[in-house]
Amino acid sequence: MAVEIEFKTGVKLRSAHGLPHVWRMLEVAAETAENLANDTMVVTEGYRDARHPDDAHTWCLAFDLRIHNIQLEGSLARYNAAWAWVKRMRAVHQDPRYQFVVHGEGANAHIHMEFDPR
C-alpha cells in the first residue's frame, strides 16, 4: 500500500535531510507503515534548535513521526502498534546506526528515528 508523507505545519527541513542515508529513514517508515488514517504518515519534527548537546535533530539526522493517527481503538493499542512499526523499520535497516524508538507519553508519544554515524 502506498503511504503519503506529510509534514506537520512548521516542520523545518534543511538540505542535509535530503542526503540518501537520512531520507532513507522516511522511505522505510512509509514502506512499513500500517493502519494510518488517510494512508498518511505525518512527520512532526525535522530540524530544531538543540535541546541537549547530543540532539540529532540539530544535525539534521533525525525525524519524529506521529502515532496518534494509527487507526486502532485506544491509546495502548496505538502505542503497541507504534512499537511494532519500529520493529519493522529495524528489520529493514539492520544497521545499528539507524535507531528507532517510541518515546513520550500521552499526547506527546511519537516515534523518534535517527541516523547516528558514530
Q: How many domains does the chain have?
A: 1
Phi/psi of residue 115, nearest 5 degrees? -110, 120
Cβ(89)–Cβ(28) below 8 Å: yes
**pTM for the whole thing?**
0.92
Q: What is the pLDDT of residues 34-81, one digit of tens each?
A: 999 999 999 999 988 878 878 898 889 999 999 999 999 888 999 999
- What's the whole-number mean pLDDT along residues 96-111? 92
Provide the domain limits for residue 29: 4-115
CA distance 35 to 44: 18
- Evaluate if residue 118 carries a pLDDT over 90: no
Ordered alpha helix ranges (H), the chain: 20-32, 75-93
CATH classification of the domain holding 92: 3.30.1380
- Evaluate if residue 1 carries a pLDDT over 60: no
